[in-house]
Chain A
């Protein structure tokens, strides 16, 4: 009896409050784990400096975030998707099919991708070609395509230390992997001239590119599906390892990691901003324009994010490792005018 009564009370409470639940008053954000630290810094400052509540920021990856973003319009869908890559055409189509037609694209800056080994290890001076020759499944030796058998870095390039090849690269679910493949492995493939040999052999540029970017599977290249913290833990347990990190992660762990130069350039916010350091990518967030005016503070948040005080070269985001966008003024204008992406 008692329990039945309790159930009834509980159910009625739930039902009552469900109807009483008013409009959502905080912004919901989902998406890339690379953008997450920047988004939390901005969200925190936004909550502190305005009368709006602190936005809720979820992580889970760019693709997962954009999928949630494109689920539709309404209070129980997210307002902003963070992404470490540009939105794909297929995603824009999915969005449009679900009614999300007006999307504002906001580029917040650039993220550098760095290569680092344990601080006790030797110094590395890489070129993209070294990475291609060390990690690609097939390489070109004396004009012939052969299986990659390099075991030490100095076999790849005599200038590199004699250390077994062991690379911790981001797994395929990460946006970082795409950048790594394109800007390092593929660039190295072209730089070393292997691309031409592949293309001549396969007769197709696309197939040659694919061959370039296929990494060896004999244990020298290890996919890390977790976060950078996992890569760091792997390097700490095996000092021969070299990992792929985001610049901001490295800058927070300089006591444990030693960064390698790429084509003679040391990665830093300055060298990435000037374009000297080759491996970087833009970071974005996408705003659902249809929610502006419905969700309080949404436009203010977007404006706050790209304001000079935060996203500028002297702001807290740059301090944390974001490379400020030289065209920030244009982005600010686009946000103020609520310029949507053209279809």
Chain B
């Protein structure tokens, strides 16, 4: 700004200032630098505050998803309801729907409350019946069908409780809100409090959130990110297997072997342009090319992976080329000088030295792909999927969800308990991203060479 060259006058004039005493101009320059440092520190400060606010809001909202309330009660498996013919025939027993098991559970809960000696004024039967989750009857049915001899016996079960009661123990539901809520009541919450004091109702760590599939709107307490994690993992697998070899091979060719002419210039410009194309465009392309033309199935991780591969390729190519460029030419010259072929110099010397940079770029590209939702919208992956996909390679063609998609889906549900689930899924996604970035930093630190 102010460092214009001093006018060259003939003879050396007597110094007007001393290094020891700051003159006005030096003070101005120093002040400008101090101000700039303050701006920088301020920018960092704002970014940190934004990060802290974001993280704390997600963690405070989503931490609850990792804890869940369970109720342990004895259930009398009434033979008349569950096996009306009484012959323990599996085919006939499987005609009994979960709804009937729900009634069996209702009776069990009523009996448990009656025998516990808890007395609460104006406690309605509906309040007792609604205590347990609807998921519980499905679990009970699976258990009975797996072992028909259980019918007629009394078994101890450990079942999920209703999302509202769970929310009460997590502070989401209060006595005041329950009074206005048509799905719960203060009496029900008092009953839950009393059961908790007796130790049959406990809130504990919830592995099911990680392993369960999605659940319908009526049972937010049972919803988990299992299918989404698996779907995201399969897609990353496809991206890794396709984007890395293609991307690295393309950049090695472009950087080391390709002649520098108009064609390679055009390709270069196009790659840079592709990196800036909005991801939804890749979704449209994926729908047209992979589903409508190639006939691949909808909602499948293979299609998602292919679309994300197209999306990540430019990122990987650009970062790989930068890493290859950063290897000094002296390495190549030395290799060629001792008689190595061009290919030997690249694969024996240049590529290993560029590897940390390539890996970092690849992992950052993968992390970007992991968080992508928009292209998946068009290929049918933004869906309610409850079946776990099979093991690869067949599983790549089964329908699956993805982590960011699960977040998007849950924020649209009516039941407020799903907001907690969505934040929980964001935490899982952030942990994945954090691990991937950590790996990238580790690889760079461990293997990077500086010249």
By a beta-carbon cutoff of 8 Å, the part of chain A in contact with chain B is: 1, 3-4, 6-7, 9-11, 13-14, 16-18, 20-21, 24, 26, 28, 30, 33, 36-37, 39-41, 43-45, 47-49, 53-54, 56-60, 71, 75-76, 78, 119, 227-229, 248-249, 251-256, 309, 316, 319-320
> B134 — nearest CB in chain A belongs to which residue?
A316
- Which residue of B99, B242, B297, B382 is within 8 Å of A58 (Cβ)? B382
> Given contacts A7-B245, A21-B297, A254-B180, are A248 and B414 in contact (CB under 8 A)?
yes
- Does B295 sit at the interface, judged by CB under 8 A? yes
Top 7 nearest A-B pairs (CB, nearest first) are: A7-B245, A54-B386, A10-B241, A40-B216, A255-B177, A255-B181, A57-B384
B296 engages A18 (CB within 8 Å): yes
A235 → chain B closest CB, angstroms: 14
B291 engages A56 (CB within 8 Å): no
Give the distance in Å from the alpha carbon of A316 to the alpha carbon of B94 in the complex: 19
Given contacts A20-B394, A43-B216, 8 further A-B contacts (CB under 8 A): A28-B299, A36-B384, A40-B217, A44-B215, A47-B387, A56-B384, A228-B414, A255-B180
Identify whether the interface residues of A are mostly helix, strand, loop, or mixed: helix
- Which residue of A4, A30, A40, A45 is within 8 Å of B380 (Cβ)? A30
**How many pairs of A and B residues are in contact by the CB < 8 Å rule?**
148
B412 engages A227 (CB within 8 Å): yes
- Which residue of B94, B97, B385, B393 is within 8 Å of A56 (Cβ)? B385
B383 engages A57 (CB within 8 Å): yes
Chain A residues whose CB sits within 8 angstroms of the CB of B397 once the complex forms: 17, 21
- Does B413 sit at the interface, judged by CB under 8 A? yes
Give the distance in Å from the alpha carbon of A255 to the alpha carbon of B292 in the complex: 46
A117 → chain B closest CB, angstroms: 13
A7 engages B249 (CB within 8 Å): yes
> A307 — nearest CB in chain B belongs to which residue?
B97
B382 engages A60 (CB within 8 Å): yes
B98 engages A48 (CB within 8 Å): yes
Chain A residues whose CB sits within 8 angstroms of the CB of B256 once the complex forms: none
- Does B141 sit at the interface, judged by CB under 8 A? yes
A58 engages B380 (CB within 8 Å): yes
- Which residue of B142, B183, B248 is within 8 Å of A252 (Cβ)? B183
- A-B contact list, 20 entries, CB within 8 Å: A3-B245, A3-B248, A4-B245, A6-B241, A14-B242, A17-B393, A40-B216, A41-B218, A44-B216, A48-B138, A53-B387, A54-B385, A54-B387, A56-B384, A58-B382, A60-B377, A253-B414, A254-B182, A255-B180, A316-B218
